[in-house]
A and B are shown apart, each in its own frame.
Chain A
Amino acid sequence: MSAQQIVFLVTAGVTVISAALVVTVRNLIHAGLWLVMTLAAVAAIYVQLEADFLAVVQVILYIGAIAILIIFSVMLTRRVMADTGPQRIPQWPLAAVVALVVFGGLAYLLVQVPWPLAPDVDVSDTVLALGEAFVDPDRFVIPFEVATILLLVALVGSISLALPERESD
Chain B
Amino acid sequence: MVPLSWYLVLAALLFSIGIYGVLARANAIGILMALELMLNAVILNLVAFWRYRGPTQVSGQMFAIIVFAVAAAEAAVGLALIISIYRRRGTVVAEEVSLLKW
A: which residues have CB within 8 A of B?
2, 4-5, 8, 12, 15-16, 19-20, 22-23, 28, 31-32, 35, 38-39, 42, 45-46, 48-51, 53-54, 57-58, 61-62, 65-67, 69-70, 73-74, 76-77, 79-81, 85-89, 91-92, 94-96, 98-100, 102-103, 106-107, 110-111, 115-118, 120-121, 123, 126, 129-130, 133-134, 139-140, 143, 147, 150-151, 153-155, 157-159, 161-162, 164
Contacts and interface: CB of A to CB of B under 8 A. Distances in A.
Contact of A96 (B13, B24, B43, B66): B24
Interface string B24-37: 11110110111011
Interface string B77-98: 1011111101100111101000
Contact of A28 (B18, B30, B40, B70): B30
Contacts of B68: 54, 57-58, 61-62
Contacts of A22: 17, 21, 33-34, 37
Interface in B27-82: 27, 29-30, 32-34, 36-37, 40, 43-44, 47-48, 50-56, 58, 61-62, 64-66, 68-77, 79-82
Contacts of B24: 23, 88-89, 91-92, 95-96
A23 B52 contact: no
A66 B83 CA distance: 15
Contacts of A76: 83, 86
A154 B25 CA distance: 25
B99 to A, nearest CB: 17
Contact of A73 (B53, B74, B77, B79): B79
